Amino acid sequence: MTTSPAPAFDAVVIGGGIAGLVVARDLGRAGRRVVLLEAGDRLGGEVSRHTVAGVDLDAGAESFATRGDIVATLATQLGLGNELVAPDPRGAWVIESDGGAFPLPATGILGIPGTAMARDVIDVIGTRAALRAEMDSLLPGPVGAKEQKLGPLVRRRMGSAVLDRLVTPVVMGVHSAHPDDLDVDRVAPGLRQQLLHQNSLARAVRELRSLSKAGSAVGGIRGGIVRLVDELAADLETFGVDVRLGSRARSYDSSSVTTDSGERLTASHVVVALGARDAAALDGRAAPATGLITLATLVVRAPELDAAPRGTGVLVAPGQPSIRAKALTHASVKWAWVAERAEGRHVLRLSYDAPVVTRATADVELRALALADAQAILGTPLDDSRVDGVGRIEWTPPLRAPSGGSVVEERGDVLRVGGAVAGRGLAGVIAGARTAAAGIVDEPVD
């Protein structure tokens, strides 16, 4: 009788983004023998840093959803508990397609108001539409609760004005997709259950907001979200995880992974921790056309901006004719730590979709475009002599969020986590990664 040799590792983790790092860290901490494969030359994936005019900043994700305390709990376990920060309470604004600018109502989730008749809601949608939205409190709970997509749910409970003028600009900015195309359970977990409990969408929103300890829907880390990557990488070293940069998985099955260089790594568990596009490529499925998101970060000397003319930033409604950026984050207002690092200067991060900005757009053109947009959005003249530096970062837009609410998936003996399963956002991705690792750790070691 022949017995197959014992696998070399307890787990092979494919992908060194946040998902893969968390799985590898939790397994390494539990004493498992782990190898982590990362195709690129650095860890972190969509969480990374760059330096603009001497200021170190997040180049990708810069905040996290506070719901469920998932990210804060991880950060605390990584020793960053004292570094958790809340954004400036002044909140974000929207610029509508007709040029009107207004602050987003303070108590909402994804633009859905927690109080339909609040002054800041009436200021945007008018009294008539606010009265329609208030009807939400009179409708039976089940109305709209079976809607899978966010758009129809909001429309049925609160009317079109709330959907079109409050929710759509926020959702397009965060998820690059219309609310009609997004699963409620994916982008607002727990909302439909709360709607049934509370018999009102507004009350459901308020309840979900109150469940996050921070009181704010998002949180940050002093020094940047990227500090999670630094700490996770340090833990991998401490726990003896075999981290291989520049090592791309080419194929896998339930007990082995073969790399681009032809090496075959055997393991009791295979964990695929990738975004949707990378996962499709690994599985040999054609990834749809790629697209491009370009972030232009300006560091400017402009004391006029100390007054935060548009709060922590602005979402620009689709179809706005004179502004080409999709959004502007006033990072030095949103985060006190950015203001400290910028030493009196202002940090403005503008995002652009292709074809407005493409790889062929020259740096000087991008600089001029970002400066013109920043002036239009902030209503403040800023000439080029005030610009200390411009950072340019390119990202591939996410594929449409996978449907369903699960954050980890088991296919045969292979566990799948990361953006391909959990969709966009650190909270879901980290929740999936921790669940996957906990499932493996619970199993007895062979």
Ligand X SMILES: Cc1cc2nc3c(=O)[nH]c(=O)nc-3n(C[C@H](O)[C@H](O)[C@H](O)COP(=O)(O)OP(=O)(O)OC[C@H]3O[C@@H](n4cnc5c(N)ncnc54)[C@H](O)[C@@H]3O)c2cc1C
Q: List residues near ligand X by CB under 6 A.
A: 14-20, 37-40, 45-47, 60-65, 248-249, 273-275, 278, 282, 395, 418-419, 424-426, 429
Query: What is the C-alpha separation between 156 and 144, in angstroms, rounded?
Result: 6
Q: Which is nearer to ligand X, 201 or 421 (CB)?
A: 421
Minimum CB separation from ligand X for residue 433, in Å? 8
Strand, coil or helix: what is 79?
coil
State the helix-helix crossing angle for 18-29 and 426-442, rounded to 10 degrees: 30
Query: What is the C-alpha separation between 141 and 147, in angstroms, rounded?
Result: 12
Query: What is the C-alpha separation between 64 and 364, in angstroms, rounded?
Result: 32
Q: What is the DSSP string of 170-228?
A: HHHHHHSS-GGGSBHHHHSTTHHHHHHHHTSHHHHHHHHHHHSTTSSSEEEETT-TTHH
Q: Which is nearer to ligand X, 195 or 333 (CB)?
A: 333
Q: Which is nearer to ligand X, 5 or 284 (CB)?
A: 284
Q: Which is nearer to ligand X, 41 or 98 (CB)?
A: 41
Q: Which is nearer to ligand X, 291 or 309 (CB)?
A: 291
CB 428 within 8 A of CB 28: no
Strands of 254-376, DSSP E: 256-259, 264-273, 293-300, 313-316, 327-330, 346-353
Could you tell me which residues come within 8 angstroms of residue 299 by beta carbon, excluding any fewer than 6 positions away?
52, 53, 55, 342, 345, 346, 347, 387, 388, 389, 390
Minimum CB separation from ligand X for residue 92, in Å? 12
Expressed in angstroms, the distance from the first to the final Cα of the chain is: 20
Minimum CB separation from ligand X for residue 15, in Å? 3
Q: Which is nearer to ligand X, 143 or 281 (CB)?
A: 281
Q: Which is nearer to ligand X, 47 or 357 (CB)?
A: 47
Minimum CB separation from ligand X for residue 119, in Å? 28
Q: Which is nearer to ligand X, 202 or 417 (CB)?
A: 417
CA 162 remoteness from chain centre: 23
Could you tell me which residues come within 8 angstroms of residue 372 by beta carbon, excluding any fewer than 6 positions away?
none
Minimum CB separation from ligand X for residue 324, in Å? 17
Minimum CB separation from ligand X for residue 235, in Å? 16
In our burial notation (b when 16+ CB lie closer than 10 A, e otherwise), range 179-192 reads beebbbbbbbbbbb
Q: Which is nearer to ligand X, 15 or 144 (CB)?
A: 15
Minimum CB separation from ligand X for residue 33, in Å? 19
Query: What is the C-alpha separation between 418 and 20, in angstroms, rounded?
Result: 7
Minimum CB separation from ligand X for residue 275, in Å? 4
DSSP symbol at 69: G
* Amino acid identity for residue 30 in this structure: A
Q: What is the DSSP string of 112-143?
A: B-SSTT-HHHHHHHHHHHHHHHHGGGTS-TTT
Minimum CB separation from ligand X for residue 371, in Å? 20
Minimum CB separation from ligand X for residue 4, in Å? 25
Q: Which is nearer to ligand X, 47 or 182 (CB)?
A: 47
